[in-house]
């Protein structure tokens, strides 16, 4: 097993959720439920599976108290969670400027708060990134509507040569997903960025800089993976239906952060029992089944 170089991650939960209005009029999009749990649990559980335990959650000022009520300081899950405000929508790459002190001299992962990735072998895919000392790792996924995302362009040998943000004409159907791993030079790169035409610091420009330096690693998530978007009411419903279908079929929960914390060794079985005790929903029953050894 390769050495693990990533201990810190930023989760971006900003934005106005305008495409989901009026559901987001009073609440952050990433706090909306995707079937049976808050949306933010999905990217958080992915980062936990990558072995990361120190988090900075960035959101707008209005929603910070709600996130703090949900996740607290992270200690019950064996994590450390702190919070910062993004004063106005300044782009995903602004995370590295807001989180400069949190990052310090370390490597850092970044996940978008509405990002859902599911699939057999995800942990191994994440380990490819966390084991790298130098450069950046991004994950590509083939989608039917790539023009909504950062699109990867390849040369004749299948190597990435460019990433274009929301192109009119797409040279491939491979989009960059919303989870990224960077070495510490990301802070310098983000500091040098100029705002795009829409006035934001674009994460695609960060990735292009690493690509130009020959230090961008691309891992494709193939057919065995699901990468789900939650930006519109239809996409949100599709994501909920997907989660419900898989969970009902298997009897196993996706993105159950308490279970992930236990399986990763962040908390003990006694800790898990304490977390399960006051929860009377199906979710709580599931945690108690794990405690009783009824789920492997």
Q: CATH no. for residue 29?
A: 3.90.550.10
Looking at the structure, tell me whether residues 235 and 253 fall in a common domain. Answer: yes
Compute the radius of gyration of the chain from its Cα atoms.
19
Looking at the structure, tell me whether residues 113 and 222 fall in a common domain. Answer: yes
Structural domain containing residue 18: 8-265
pLDDT at 3: 81
Q: To the nearest 10°, the Cα dihedral for 55, 61, 63, 66?
A: 70
pLDDT at 2: 61
* Pairing, β 225-228 against β 116-119: antiparallel
* pLDDT tens string 19-33: 999 999 999 999 999
Q: Is residue 3 one of the residues assigned to a domain?
A: no
pLDDT at 17: 82
Whether residue 35 contacts residue 137, with contact meaning beta carbons closer than 8 Å, is answered with no
Q: Is residue 228 one of the residues assigned to a domain?
A: yes
241, two tokens: 């239906």
pLDDT at 16: 79
Q: Is residue 279 one of the residues assigned to a domain?
A: yes
pLDDT at 167: 94
Looking at the structure, tell me whether residues 124 and 243 fall in a common domain. Answer: yes
Looking at the structure, tell me whether residues 239 and 137 fall in a common domain. Answer: yes
Looking at the structure, tell me whether residues 156 and 32 fall in a common domain. Answer: yes
C-alpha distances in Å from residue 261, one per residue of 4, 88, 219:
17, 33, 25
Low-confidence spans in the chain with pLDDT less than 70: 1-2, 296
């Amino acid at each position: 097993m390769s050495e693990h170089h990533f201990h810190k991650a930023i989760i971006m939960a900003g934005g106005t959720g305008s495409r989901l209005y009026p559901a987001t009029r009073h609440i952050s999009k990433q706090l909306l439920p995707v079937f049976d749990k808050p949306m933010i649990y999905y990217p958080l559980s992915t980062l936990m599976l990558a072995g990361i335990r120190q988090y900075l959650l960035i959101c707008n000022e209005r929603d910070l108290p709600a996130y703090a009520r949900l996740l607290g300081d992270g200690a019950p899950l064996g994590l450390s969670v702190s919070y910062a405000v993004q004063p106005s929508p300044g782009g995903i790459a602004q995370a590295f400027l807001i989180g400069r002190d949190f990052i310090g001299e370390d490597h850092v992962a970044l996940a978008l708060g509405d990002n859902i990735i599911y699939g057999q072998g995800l942990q191994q895919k994440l380990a490819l990134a966390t084991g790298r000392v130098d450069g950046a790792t991004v994950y590509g996924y083939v989608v039917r509507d790539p023009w909504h995302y950062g699109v990867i362009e390849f040369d004749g040998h299948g190597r990435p040569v460019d990433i274009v943000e929301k192109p009119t004409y797409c040279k491939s159907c491979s989009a960059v997903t919303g989870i990224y791993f960077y070495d510490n030079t990301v802070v310098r790169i983000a500091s040098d960025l100029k705002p795009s035409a829409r006035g934001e610091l674009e994460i695609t420009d960060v990735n292009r800089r690493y690509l130009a330096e020959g230090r961008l690693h691309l891992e494709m998530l193939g057919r065995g993976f699901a990468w789900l978007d939650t930006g519109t009411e239809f996409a949100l419903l599709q994501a909920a239906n997907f989660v419900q279908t898989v969970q009902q079929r298997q009897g196993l929960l996706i993105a159950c952060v308490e279970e992930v914390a236990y399986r990763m060794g962040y908390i003990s079985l006694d800790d898990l029992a304490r977390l399960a005790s006051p929860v009377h929903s199906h979710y709580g029953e599931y945690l108690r089944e794990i405690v009783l050894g009824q789920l492997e």
